[in-house]
Amino acid sequence: MKSLLQQALGDEEPPMAVDVEAAERQGSRALRRRRQVIPLATAAIAVAVVAGGVIFVTARNPVQLPPAAHGQPAPTTPISTAAPSDITAAYCYRTPNITTSLDKTNQHVMVGVNGHIEGGRGDVRGAIMDICRQAWEANYYDWFPAGSGKHAAPPLVACVLDADAVDAMAGTIGVFPGDAQTCANMGLPVARI
């Protein structure tokens, strides 16, 4: 065996020497790199797991934001509440839009109730949500296509109208399809009724 090794290496080759100190320095540098990489890799894995969990949770429970009405602010407007200042009249709206006038087909309809106060009008606050729900279900104002069968009212919300409400009295209640964010998107407070 020794002869084969000598034949392969030759007799002129210097004897092999190992630099132990250089090997230790190289090993300690490699160890330091591993110690730096392991926490970074662990952190990256943790971030990926958390992000994956967020994506998984979001995919299972999607957030449904109400669509913004044409020309209305984004649905992140803060929600406020207010009491109506005029309780003798209210309005049922077809769409969440206060800038469309009555020349549009029944965009909104004024509602009042009989009462025992001057002028014969009563407090409409307690009845307006039911009145508007029934108007939707019975399709009194042709808000659904004619002959489209039985109707279900959309979710409804009561807002306090302001001076920007076209062909409506400021301070009254307007009932719109939507939720509290619908009022906020139109710049109106939710009605405390």
pLDDT in tens, 51-90: 444 333 333 333 334 444 555 545 468 999 999 999 999 9
* Per-residue confidence band for 45, with pLDDT thresholds at 50, 70 and 90: low
CA separation (Å) from 132 to 84, 93, 128, 148? 17, 8, 6, 19
- Rounded mean pLDDT of 164-179? 95
**Is the pTM here over 0.85, yes or no?**
no
Kind and range of the H or E run holding 179: none
- Rounded mean pLDDT of 29-51? 53
The radius of gyration of the chain from alpha carbons, rounded to an integer in Å, stands at 37
- Per DSSP, what are the bridge partners of residue 158? 175
